[in-house]
Homo-oligomer: A and B are copies of this chain.
Amino acid sequence: MIEIELPERQRLILKEIVDRYIRLREPVSSRMILEDYGLRVSSATVRNDMNDLEAAGYIEKPYASSGRVPTTKGYRFFVDWLLDLSELTKKERLEVAEAYEVHCLEIRETMRQTAFLLGNITGYTGFVIPPQMEETRLDRVVLLRMDARLFLMVLISDIGVVEHRLVPLQEDLAQEEIAQITQIIDSTLHGVTLSAIRELTLKENPDGWHERPVRQALLLLGRLLERRSQKHLFYEGLLNLVDDLQEVDSERSLEQFTGLIHAVQDEAAFTDAIRGARGDRRGPVAFVGDPALPGLEGYSVVTCDYRPHAGALGVIGPLWMDYGRVLSATTYIAHRLETLLVSSCTQSSER
């Protein structure tokens, strides 16, 4: 589909068109290319090349005699073959470091923070698809007595606090029983995945779980896991995209934006689409106005995966986003988040 082979001068011209369009967001004419760029040919020559590029589908004209604008295929080629990766500035790295410094071990807060960071640094919309919590392994459980029949239960897995909730109880629980329950859970279920624990709680009378405090423990865990808040997606900074709404084609861009809003609000569908589109690729992947992401017509998405448990994150922005910056920011933050989560892992296993 996309050819790597393109005459050298045409590659330069395409690069210049995309670069300039991303910068100024207006159609690029043959003369502008000559002004900006030290090409030692005439505008007519450039026009001929532009003709070829248009025939090949890399650029197009909004109307018959205007400057050229990149097509999605043009952006695609640009990202794949012409992009200069721009490193993050020291200040930006510092911003990332600071954001993660006041780490609170709560996985949802971490996800939210990361999404915010992505959105803030790139100036577009950041999103994070959390790891599959079902596959994380239980580290420990904290039970806190609020009153006789009300407990605060905190569930900490290898990547942090996965769940915490007030759990009401039918029977009273004495202080000693709590210690006992915590002890039992800790010694028996440490290192077991949440999905396995959930299965266990569904059984009526599993072997060796007959005593009263033990049954209570299972009951509690079951309560907590049964109505787990299934949050599939965290996103921050949709409002950053509002600025672009003053575009020329105000009606269509507003339509696209509302489409985007609805797309991210259906969290499950969005997550599946991203996962599906990525396939089993690792590392950064860019989607440029890709039809594999329904509802995101007119937007580009840069994603990166992170361990553990198949997490993913990324940035949603306009087709003319600054791919260099966004790609490096996304990759960098994915790496930092991974480090953060994996270090929690090690930490808990070494205790």
Contact = CB atoms under 8 A, between A and B. Distances in A.
A234 to B, nearest CB: 12
Indicate how many identical chains form the complex.
2
Interface string A158-201: 00000011100000000000000000000000000000000000
Nearest to A103: B166
Given A142-B142, A165-B102, A250-B250, A243 B258 contact: yes
Given A102-B165, A164-B106, A229-B102, A146 B347 contact: yes
A45 interface: no
A306 interface: no
Contacts of A242: 242, 254, 257-258, 261
B351 A147 contact: yes
A212 interface: no
Given A239-B261, A242-B261, A261-B242, A347 B105 contact: no
Main secondary structure of the interface of A (DSSP, over half): mixed
A351 B105 contact: no
B164 A104 contact: yes
B166 A105 contact: yes
A150 interface: yes
B246 A254 contact: yes
A239 B142 CA distance: 38
A144 B104 CA distance: 12
B261 A254 contact: no
Interface residues of A, number: 33
A133 to B, nearest CB: 16
Contacts of A261: 239, 242
Contacts of A254: 242, 245-246
A254 B239 CA distance: 12
Nearest to A144: B142
Interface in A208-265: 227, 229, 238-239, 242-243, 245-246, 250-251, 254, 257-258, 261
Interface string A71-103: 000000000000000000000000000000011
Contacts of A43: none
Q: Give the 10 A-B CB pairs with smallest separation, nearest first.
A: A104-B165, A103-B166, A239-B261, A105-B166, A105-B152, A104-B164, A147-B347, A147-B351, A146-B347, A238-B239
Given A150-B347, A245-B245, A246-B251, 14 more contacts: A102-B165, A103-B165, A104-B164, A105-B165, A105-B166, A142-B144, A145-B351, A146-B348, A146-B351, A147-B351, A238-B239, A239-B239, A239-B261, A242-B257
6 contacts: A105-B146, A105-B166, A145-B351, A239-B239, A239-B261, A242-B258
A119 to B, nearest CB: 13
A142 B106 CA distance: 15
Interface in A265-315: none
